A and B are shown apart, each in its own frame.
Chain A
Amino acid sequence: MKTPPVPQDREGTAAGLLLGAARHSAGRTTAVFLCSAASAVASLALPAVLGRTLDLLLRRSPDADPWLLACAAVIVAEVLLDALVALLGGTTSARSAAWLRTRGVGRLLAAWPGHAARFPPGDVAVRLTANATEASTAPVSAATLGASLLAPVGAVVALFLIDPWTAVTFLAGLPVLLLVLRAFARGSSDSVASYQRAQADIATRLVEALAGARTIAAAGTEARDRDRILAPLPQLATQGRRMWRIHGAAVARSGVLMPLLTTAVLAVGGIRLASGDMSVGDLLAASRYAALAAGVGTAAGLIGSLIRSRSAARRAAELMALPAMTYGARTLPPEGRGTLELRGVSVRREDRTVLAGVDLTIPGGTSVAVVGRSGAGKSTLAAVAGRLTEPDAGTVLLDGIPLGALRRDVLRREVGHAFERPVLFGATLGEALAGGSPMPEERVRAAARAASADAFVRLLPHGYATPPQAAPLSGGELQRLGLARSFARAGRLLVLDDATSSLDTVTERQVEAALARDVRHGTRLIVAHRLSSAARCDLVVWLEEGRVRATGPHEELWRSGEYRALFAPPEPGPAAVPAAASKTEPYTHRAPVAARAVPLPHKHATEPAPAADTAERADR
């Protein structure tokens, strides 16, 4: 698989997705259609039967009894059919929603991380809850739409059958009704916008204050801040009242028309009654049919609902269009030690080349630092090495097997990752560290100890049983938990992508020592910014603009001034750094261990003048 292809999948489009949902519940959807059609037929039959019955009863005709029974049958049938439509419709929509959600989650989980990351979590949640629910009503809406058209059309026909004049009267009044309804939306949108602006204003102020909660708590200004947040409330109320006024005027207009139309039909019917062309029953039936015929509104509502479903489905379908990761069926040779090989690996992101033809072989069991300026492609290299990203060209092999040919479980068992900002999943920290696979508790704790996480986890109210969301974690603590998770499942290759950046120097050292000592031995690929990390690795890969600038042991690369410049300290550097890094005094590196054997600094060496620091830093 190369660049993600445009999905040919039908579920990737709104129509395809809705069709899929309808197919999934084809039987039920058909049943909903049949029931609602039958209900419409019953509602059409009722006025006629009712009118006829009434006429017979008024005439005190003995034939009235069977008609009364028919009336009862039609009414009961209509009520039961409506109930059935409600039941079937509800369950069908529930089924469709579940189907859409399951598909969506499945597609999301199968997707490449880089592609899935385009959708923020809140957005995904909306797509698979509100949007999926709205989309899921489409099959039922479509099924009932057909039936709902039956009633008004049938009612007009019935009016014609009873008396053409009543039908003509009704049809003549209809355009006026539509015109009034059209005027509805006008004028309201402006006040809605102002209303929403005021609401957003309050929300923004609240979020600002929540972010500053500690300041407010300390300053005791809660009441004052509350008043400030609520300052736009009167504006909200003003706009809200305006919305109701506009709405009320629209309802008043449209509310007049329907009864007027029915009254007009009654008047015409009355004249026809007086002339003997209609019966009282006919007249009642005619007024009822006029009401039914005006029920086109229901159809309009259903069409609106279908349109909303379609746009909701479009949003859900964007998730379905995510290309899926593929896996192979091969396993790794048992004797392999984790040799990682990149052959001509290139990665492009939106016209930009992130990695350009990287060739690299990392012998099994070595630790490799990946260094380079930000944007050099370090994280992409790390992602490619663990198959979290598919290269656009080239191959990545682990112990001679292309990563894409490996079985998923083998790949994920043998290749572990730790990230700069790990996300923990699972009900407890213990589960989160096990990373979703069953694992003995002791192994989890050992990994946590190695990552210097055990101590602070035990300080938490419920220790390892604390839910990750309930634990107040600093960036450094989170990183240590991410490291612990990767240590617990360390296989042939461990990829640490900037995974110690938030640790203080002391902790970082402890973790590095434990990684060398207590974690299953294998190949390590370490994206690092700190010089000390690079120095302690067996090999350094120096990336520059997506290419390998150089590889070699740290001490060899250190001869290059440009390489040394990569490690310019991020904060006011101590005097020793520029001195050591200056070109005039070539650094002689013996062994990484030597760094730790440095005698403690003398007192005068520990007192750099801050002003001098800044000055020297500015020079560089």
Chain B
Amino acid sequence: MSAAAKSPAPGARPGRGALRRNLPPARRFLAGRKRVLVRLGGWSLLESAQTFLGGYCLAQALDRGFLAGQTGTGLLWLAVAAASILGAGPPMRGVFTQLAELTEPLRDALVRRAVRQALRHAVTDPARTDDRADTGAVSRLTHQTEIVRDSFAGLVLTVRAFVFNAVGALIGLLALAPELLLVVLPPLVLGIGLFLATLLPMASAQRAFLDADEAVAEGVGAVSAGHRDLVACGAQADAAQRTGRLIDTAERTSRVLARWAALRTVALGVAGQLPVLLLLVTTPWLLRQGVTTGALAGALTYLLQALLPALHSMMTALGAAGTRLLVVVDRFQDATAPPVPPKAPDPDPDMVVEAATPRGRRPSRTAPAVEIRAVTHAYGPDSPPVLDHLHLTVRRGEHIAVVGPSGIGKSTLAGVVSGLVAPDHGTVLLGGEPVTGTTAQDLADRRVLIPQQAYVFTGSVRDNLLHLRPDATSGELTYAIGVLGAEPLVNRLGGPDAVLDPRGLSHGERQLLALCRAYLSSAPLVLLDEATCHLDPAAEARAERAFAERAFTDGARARGGALIVVAHRLSSARRADRVLVLDGTTPRFGTHEELLTSSALYRDLFGHWQHTPPPVGS
């Protein structure tokens, strides 16, 4: 799981803080389900009745039956108890039906939240998304929601059982002899109080334990992932020491948990066993008060057969499942922290002018398709900029390629142009309108960006292709598939309405589908960010030609159409009208011929491309 989701909110004390953070939403959740709670209580009351009858009938069976020489009466009273036990089946089923009405909505809410958070996180900062974040998201979605579901159900069941058993038993004691309550209640309350006092520290111990366990998992996974490299560097001892420290911490945290479990056992003894002892000690006094033998036996039955097991289950559930629940739910809370809003670019004279233009106005019919004005961007506050005061104008209908070594900022540029990355300084205009400050939907109408990592989801081919424009006609769909040469693929998949499994597609096939989808979008400006790198060269050329023509149509040009290709292969540069060369120093922009004279890097690239083998020519 990602580090961000794991670390508690800064300054928060794990136990109490977690409780404070989670109580209000918990209250809201329960408040919205009053009917369910009432029905749950109703079924549980029948359980109270059964508990009540268990002790009461025994007392009557003894006093009026067996001890009075009336065996028949005694058996009759026991038969009443037996009947109440037999009648407990339907209430128990009712309890579980209502329980489902609590756990399933909770699970639904958590699944929704996990999906929303993971997606939000990934969409806000796509560059940071990696496999580990995915694993974390899937774990939250499946494993952790199940922990919550099971723990919550266990908690509801046991707490409810204790409360209603206690109610039945206490009413029973009251009915048998009110004095009994005087004896039983104080130790019971004392023990429960003692137990409740251990809950919060136990929750933080549990949290420390889970964190330590995850740290071990991460450390051990890293050792496994880097095994060959560790061996090659002879760094085994170092690695063993590092994981050893994590293992030691995990052991320490689970020892702490064991101490709390021991204390919990003592609390259980105080609450469950001490009343028994007190009852015996006070028996002479109780007998003097006129308490009958049957009443005493009934009281002991309440204590030993009803309260003690219910207490035991509840304390175990609260101590283990309850604290785990708190910790895991708190993680969902942590991850809900509002994502950092994208930083606003510094005010810039150009920007001020642009911002003054009225919103919602039709894009100018004459402004260039893309205009980059003095854009500067760095990955961090202290790092040198990847884009440094970049100026670039892309004309309507034009086809541009961006080339340069890996890591030089080509994808960042694509992000800046498409409005996904807000530059530190400078402005980007699409068709004369600033790209910042608009909604995602508005942006999507103006430009489409296809990244290297193609997005294909489980669903029909049609759904995949019409994802950006669900109202595209079948004719348009067929045309897009045809112009990009995707018919063989779509036919192989079983036609537009066949359901596809992304895992069964090669990278190239995924990219082809993503290209069809982009082709169908209504956006005039197209940015291909190495979006064809897994296609074979002929398919790549075909795709680029199709998009170049798409940008050149009258309709698209009128709306500011253009094609920007972040090149994976140099052949993409040869097809473009103009080429932007990024080499980390001065960006160069011009036609192929111009660049061969003006850019040393470009010349070098093409020189090497021509002469990858060293032959000195023939």
A99 to chain B, nearest CB (A): 9
In the bound complex, residues from chain A placing their C-beta under 8 Å from that of B459 are 228
Does B364 touch A at the CB level, under 8 Å?
A: no
Contacts A57-B280, A325-B231, A598-B616 known; A98 to B250 CB distance under 8 Å? yes
CB under 8 Å from chain B, chain A span 493-540: 502-507, 530-532, 535
CB under 8 Å from chain B, chain A span 583-620: 585, 587-590, 592, 594-595, 598, 600-601, 603, 605-608, 610, 613-614
**Assembled-state Cα–Cα distance A144/B435 (Å):** 69
**Chain A residue nearest to B608 in the complex (CB):** A505
Interface string of B120-138 (1 = CB under 8 A from A): 1011101111101111011
Does A177 touch B at the CB level, under 8 Å?
A: no
**Chain B residue nearest to A79 in the complex (CB):** B269
**Assembled-state Cα–Cα distance A222/B439 (Å):** 12
In the bound complex, residues from chain B placing their C-beta under 8 Å from that of A485 are 233
Are A233 and B119 in touch, CB under 8 angstroms?
no
Does A446 touch B at the CB level, under 8 Å?
A: no
Does A3 touch B at the CB level, under 8 Å?
A: no
Q: Of the candidates B69, B261, B270, B607, which one forms a contact with A274 in the assembled complex, judged by CB atoms under 8 Å apart?
A: B69
In the bound complex, residues from chain B placing their C-beta under 8 Å from that of A247 are 96
Are A105 and B247 in touch, CB under 8 angstroms?
yes
Are B93 and A252 in touch, CB under 8 angstroms?
yes
**Chain B residue nearest to A253 in the complex (CB):** B89
Does A202 touch B at the CB level, under 8 Å?
A: yes
Are A252 and B453 in touch, CB under 8 angstroms?
no
Q: Of the candidates A98, A200, A216, A419, which one forms a contact with B123 in the assembled complex, judged by CB atoms under 8 Å apart?
A: A216
Are B132 and A469 in touch, CB under 8 angstroms?
yes
Does B287 touch A at the CB level, under 8 Å?
A: yes
Does A121 touch B at the CB level, under 8 Å?
A: yes
A560 to chain B, nearest CB (A): 14
Chain B interface category by residue count:
35 or more
In the bound complex, residues from chain A placing their C-beta under 8 Å from that of B238 are 436-437
Are B231 and A210 in touch, CB under 8 angstroms?
no
In the bound complex, residues from chain B placing their C-beta under 8 Å from that of A323 are none
**Assembled-state Cα–Cα distance A46/B381 (Å):** 72
**Assembled-state Cα–Cα distance A311/B233 (Å):** 35
Contacts A86-B262, A102-B244, A504-B405 known; A128 to B216 CB distance under 8 Å? yes
**Chain B residue nearest to A115 in the complex (CB):** B227
Are A117 and B227 in touch, CB under 8 angstroms?
yes
B496 to chain A, nearest CB (A): 17
Does A251 touch B at the CB level, under 8 Å?
A: yes
Q: Tell which of B18-26, B177-185, B444-452 binds the partner.
A: B444-452
Q: Tell which of B106-114, B168-176, B348-356, B551-559 binds the partner.
A: B106-114
CB under 8 Å from chain B, chain A span 215-256: 215-222, 224-226, 228-230, 233, 236-237, 240-241, 244-245, 247-249, 251-253, 255-256
Does B383 touch A at the CB level, under 8 Å?
A: yes
**Assembled-state Cα–Cα distance A471/B378 (Å):** 14
In the bound complex, residues from chain B placing their C-beta under 8 Å from that of A200 are 142
Are A220 and B444 in touch, CB under 8 angstroms?
yes
Q: Tell which of A13-21, A362-370, A396-404, A405-413 binds the partner.
A: A405-413
Most buried by B among A97, A207, A249, A474: A207
**Assembled-state Cα–Cα distance A105/B514 (Å):** 43
Are B222 and A121 in touch, CB under 8 angstroms?
yes
Contacts A205-B458, A247-B96, A505-B608 known; A218 to B449 CB distance under 8 Å? yes
**Assembled-state Cα–Cα distance A454/B183 (Å):** 78
Does B158 touch A at the CB level, under 8 Å?
A: no
**Assembled-state Cα–Cα distance A264/B615 (Å):** 100
**Chain B residue nearest to A455 in the complex (CB):** B584
Q: Of the candidates A97, A206, A325, which one forms a contact with B137 in the assembled complex, judged by CB atoms under 8 Å apart?
A: A206
Are A256 and B261 in touch, CB under 8 angstroms?
no
In the bound complex, residues from chain A placing their C-beta under 8 Å from that of B456 are 208, 212
Are B569 and A202 in touch, CB under 8 angstroms?
no
Are B69 and A424 in touch, CB under 8 angstroms?
no
**Assembled-state Cα–Cα distance A119/B596 (Å):** 50
B234 to chain A, nearest CB (A): 3
Does A378 touch B at the CB level, under 8 Å?
A: no
CB under 8 Å from chain A, chain B span 447-475: 447-451, 453-459, 467-468
In the bound complex, residues from chain B placing their C-beta under 8 Å from that of A460 are 379-380, 383
**Chain B residue nearest to A472 in the complex (CB):** B127
Does A1 touch B at the CB level, under 8 Å?
A: no
**Chain B residue nearest to A567 in the complex (CB):** B613
Are B128 and A472 in touch, CB under 8 angstroms?
yes
Are A219 and B468 in touch, CB under 8 angstroms?
yes
Are A95 and B251 in touch, CB under 8 angstroms?
yes
Does B612 touch A at the CB level, under 8 Å?
A: yes
Are A461 and B383 in touch, CB under 8 angstroms?
yes
**Chain B residue nearest to A111 in the complex (CB):** B227
**Assembled-state Cα–Cα distance A90/B206 (Å):** 13
Does A262 touch B at the CB level, under 8 Å?
A: yes
In the bound complex, residues from chain B placing their C-beta under 8 Å from that of A436 are 230, 233-235, 238-239
Are B228 and A113 in touch, CB under 8 angstroms?
yes
Are B407 and A106 in touch, CB under 8 angstroms?
no
Does A371 touch B at the CB level, under 8 Å?
A: no
Does A161 touch B at the CB level, under 8 Å?
A: no
Are A109 and B614 in touch, CB under 8 angstroms?
no
B617 to chain A, nearest CB (A): 7
**Assembled-state Cα–Cα distance A72/B127 (Å):** 67
Are B240 and A105 in touch, CB under 8 angstroms?
yes
Are B254 and A601 in touch, CB under 8 angstroms?
no
**Assembled-state Cα–Cα distance A146/B617 (Å):** 86
Interface string of A54-74 (1 = CB under 8 A from B): 100110100000001001100
Are B255 and A109 in touch, CB under 8 angstroms?
no
Q: Of the candidates B95, B226, B383, which one forms a contact with A459 in the assembled complex, judged by CB atoms under 8 Å apart?
A: B383
**Assembled-state Cα–Cα distance A460/B407 (Å):** 11
Are A226 and B75 in touch, CB under 8 angstroms?
no
In the bound complex, residues from chain B placing their C-beta under 8 Å from that of A112 are 231
In the bound complex, residues from chain B placing their C-beta under 8 Å from that of A428 are none
**Assembled-state Cα–Cα distance A388/B149 (Å):** 47
**Assembled-state Cα–Cα distance A60/B296 (Å):** 14
Are B257 and A90 in touch, CB under 8 angstroms?
yes
Q: Of the candidates B66, B213, B467, which one forms a contact with A133 in the assembled complex, judged by CB atoms under 8 Å apart?
A: B213
B514 to chain A, nearest CB (A): 7
Are B276 and A50 in touch, CB under 8 angstroms?
yes
In the bound complex, residues from chain A placing their C-beta under 8 Å from that of B301 are 284, 287
Are A226 and B88 in touch, CB under 8 angstroms?
no
Q: Tell which of A148-156, A341-349, A350-358, A568-576 binds the partner.
A: A568-576
Contacts A94-B254, A274-B71 known; A241 to B100 CB distance under 8 Å? yes
Interface string of B243-255 (1 = CB under 8 A from A): 1100110110011
In the bound complex, residues from chain A placing their C-beta under 8 Å from that of B333 are none
**Assembled-state Cα–Cα distance A408/B363 (Å):** 69
Does B601 touch A at the CB level, under 8 Å?
A: yes
**Chain B residue nearest to A212 in the complex (CB):** B455
In the bound complex, residues from chain B placing their C-beta under 8 Å from that of A214 are 126, 420, 449, 451, 453, 455
Does A116 touch B at the CB level, under 8 Å?
A: yes
Contacts A244-B100, A601-B607 known; A474 to B406 CB distance under 8 Å? yes
In the bound complex, residues from chain A placing their C-beta under 8 Å from that of B123 are 213, 216-217, 222
**Assembled-state Cα–Cα distance A457/B58 (Å):** 80
Does B562 touch A at the CB level, under 8 Å?
A: no
**Assembled-state Cα–Cα distance A472/B406 (Å):** 12
Are B379 and A610 in touch, CB under 8 angstroms?
no
Are A590 and B616 in touch, CB under 8 angstroms?
yes
A257 to chain B, nearest CB (A): 9
**Assembled-state Cα–Cα distance A230/B118 (Å):** 13
Contacts A211-B455, A213-B122 known; A87 to B613 CB distance under 8 Å? no
A77 to chain B, nearest CB (A): 10
CB under 8 Å from chain B, chain A span 420-469: 422-425, 435-437, 455-456, 458-463, 469
8 cross-chain CB contacts under 8 A: A57-B287, A60-B287, A117-B228, A202-B111, A211-B134, A248-B97, A386-B232, A598-B614
5 additional A-B pairs beyond A75-B269, A506-B604, beta carbons within 8 Å, are A124-B221, A125-B224, A126-B217, A213-B119, A598-B607
Q: Which 9 A-B pairs have the closest CB atoms?
A: A90-B258, A212-B455, A248-B96, A412-B234, A436-B235, A461-B380, A220-B440, A79-B269, A595-B614
